[in-house]
Amino acid sequence: MVEALLSLNFDKFHALSLKALRKIVPLMEQGLRYDEAVERIPEYGHHSNRPRENTGKQKYLPPFYEGTRTESGSMRIREGLDIPRNPVVLRALNQARKVCNALIREYGQPSEVHIEMARDLARPADERRAIQKLQEEYRERNEAERLQFAETFGRKPSGAELEKWLLYREQHGKCAYSLEPLDLARVIKDPGYVQVDHALPYSRSFDDSRNNKVLVLTRENQNKGNRTPYEYLTSFPGGEEGDRWRHYKAWVEANKSYRQAKRNRLLRKHFGAEEEQAFKDRNLNDTRYICRFFKNYVEEHLQLASDSTARRCVVLNGQLTAFLRAKWGLLKIREQSDRHHALDAAVIAACSHAMVKRLADYARKKELAYLSKGLPDPETGVVASASAHDALSHAFPEPWPHFRHELEKRLTIESVDELRSEMKRLGTYPPEALESLRPLFVSRAPQRRGVGALHKDTLYSPRPLLEKNSEPGKQKNCTIVRKNVLELKLSDLQNIVGKEDPRNASLIKAIEDRLVAHGNDGKKAFATPLFRPSADGKKAPIVRTVRLYKTKETGAFVGTGVADLGEMLRVDVFRHERRYVLIPAYAMPLDKRINKNQPPDGAEFLFSLTKNDLVEVTIGSTTTRGYFVMFESDGRLTLRRHDQPIPDRSYFRKNIANATRLQKFHVDILGRVFLAPPEKRYGVA
């Protein structure tokens, strides 16, 4: 026995007390495995195997919302479930819940739930312990703060109240921007007194962490707007040397409650386009918390099939999914199609607890490099090591015969008859399953919005509108805009303000000469600074911008200026005299717009389109079906293929006024397509 054991290498260990060992070892001496021995001991059985009373598990995953709304009109999140407040995270979780429930309605209760997690294989024990310790400290600190709140106000806090309470104490009772003392009673009880603000604006960073949140007076938050603290506080007299920024900076640096990560956000000076994108990418791609929360939510709330023996979700990570794709010969090209999500889902579903454990064991033993030699080359199919290939085939066998062939056909065939014929040839589908087979169709959630920004931030010209003669007897509505010389084109020269003034002739000629010499490319033409021509030879200023007349066919009156309209909310589609008329809808009221853009009298309303609505257009004998992307002022409609990852206008971008037929469809969450029912125009009784 001793000689046999000496040849074994152990890569893991258990931290067990002598008391536990005295109970477990005798059972193992009887021939039981460790996990079987632990399961025999009631107080030591794995948490997933212990009997639970009143688990409250349900047929469907329960919603994250209560069904009521807050004072601001947003849906109220259910308390007591530690549901994340980040709107991007919450939207992803809610979509996953809807997909899960739709699958249950279609196929019944699942026997197992498999989830891909965004995490590394087999983290080292010391790293896992460090993470666990931080999480435990965080939970204990929050629980202590809840008790402190209850002692102060005589009741438990809601999620929003606890957040304000934590920030109030972290800031030592001061408004983060004005540094004025805050009234704690009003902080908790008066909803209009203070607000929780994202220091780096959420729309620019997607950062909803506590490190990016501060408690401020409502007026301070409104005055700050979509700016960083630095951009806001240096806008006061004195700028960076002014009292507002200097006092704020000293206060942040002296606050010992702030972690360095939070201090960095509050004092960040540079937050341009590149920094914004980096923050967005980091926060949107951090899916670990989303996956972990959803896994726990499923295990706690979802009732599995009556004959299921599963106790936990099967948890994979991206590395294992990629490994199995390579092992089973499944190429994945993300850029070509969104169908790769279905491929991943099939691989994840075909994986088992045993496969997850085997690959984790290989990772711990640092044998992944050896195993990879057994993977077939994607181009030639040749393997570098026959022994590694044999080991792979034994540890990670193909889920069932013809798995790769079946999956590839299911992903690529778009004809119903061809798909059913191909699957019938494999002989693995019963007749009733063949009858229900349909090609894959990527489902996208329509982005329906009832509200939006009234107008863009930039105001043109201090005067409401200028009248500029374009042709004799005709008038055009114009504003004055400043355009960087790097963006100038020769066509802009005719619109230069003051073109008729002889004093500007030499400057306009100099600009024209530069553009002509550099092929009408402003960036090349003015890479070398252009100085304003000076008759007396004195040093003249550099020309950086030029004022131009800009014709305003659209826009809105805002104060004493004109602004571009905000984002288009939807497009209303009408039929009039055998033509289709599309009218864009904005949040700005009609009476404030330059162009009222109303449908012609007698036009019949058909339906409204928002982003990701499915549309079918027939022009002549050609029919195109795709998701709605955008509508342009020249009447062109842009659609994307259902599986196209990024719309690029190459699929369909045409004027559809004279189309033979235009129809709208609904796509359910499982990709089934239905003709949309008749609609009433939004805002019209």
pLDDT per residue as tens digits for the range 121-144: 444 556 556 766 776 777 788 888
Is pLDDT above 80 for 486?
A: yes
Name the residue among 420, 414, 412, 370 with its Cα closest to residue 395.
370
- Poorest-pLDDT segment among 361-365, 480-484, 622-626, 650-654: 361-365
Mean pLDDT value of segment 385-391:
64
| Local confidence band at 681 (pLDDT 50, 70, 90 cut-offs) | confident
Report the SS3 class of residue 665.
Answer: strand
Give the pLDDT of residue 450. Answer: 66
Give the pLDDT of residue 323. Answer: 78
Is pLDDT above 60 for 384?
A: no
Pairing of strands 314-317, 114-117: parallel
| Local confidence band at 612 (pLDDT 50, 70, 90 cut-offs) | very high
Is pLDDT above 80 for 551?
A: no
Distance CA 457, CA 566 (A): 9
Tell me the pLDDT tens digit for each residue of 32-58.
777 778 777 766 654 444 444 445 789
Query: What backbone torsions phi and psi does residue 115 show, to the nearest 5 degrees?
Result: -130, 135
Give the pLDDT of residue 54. Answer: 42
Mean pLDDT value of segment 419-430:
90
Give the pLDDT of residue 685. Answer: 36
Contact 652, 579 (CB under 8 A): no
| Local confidence band at 233 (pLDDT 50, 70, 90 cut-offs) | very high
Percent of the chain clearing pLDDT 70 (strictly above): 79
Angle at 419 between CA 417 and CA 422, to 5 degrees: 105
Distance CA 347, CA 339 (A): 13
Decide which of 603 and 329 is more confident. 603
Kindly report the three-state secondary structure assignment for every residue of 503-540. HHHHHHHHHHHHHHHCCCCHHHHCCCCCECCCCCCCCC
Name the residue among 412, 446, 414, 438 with its Cα closest to residue 337.
412
Distance CA 370, CA 362 (A): 9
Beta bridge partners of 561: 558
- Poorest-pLDDT segment among 132-146, 229-243, 396-410, 644-658: 132-146
Mean pLDDT value of segment 535-544:
76
Is pLDDT above 90 for 443?
A: yes
Mean pLDDT value of segment 233-246:
90
Is pLDDT above 50 for 530?
A: yes
Contact 592, 557 (CB under 8 A): yes
What 8-state DSSP symbol labels residue 240? G
Name the residue among 399, 331, 315, 343 with its Cα closest to residue 121.
315
Is pLDDT above 70 for 548?
A: yes
Is pLDDT above 60 for 256?
A: yes
Give the pLDDT of residue 357. Answer: 77
Tell me the pLDDT tens digit for each residue of 332-365.
555 578 888 899 899 999 988 888 777 766 655 5
Distance CA 540, CA 271 (A): 33
Give the pLDDT of residue 616. Answer: 96
Is pLDDT above 80 for 267?
A: yes
Decide which of 309 and 452 is more confident. 309
Tell me the pLDDT tens digit for each residue of 65-121.
877 766 666 677 777 666 777 777 788 888 999 999 999 999 999 999 998 875 444
Is pLDDT above 60 for 627?
A: yes
Give the pLDDT of residue 396. Answer: 77
Give the pLDDT of residue 36. Answer: 74
- Poorest-pLDDT segment among 11-25, 156-170, 532-546: 11-25
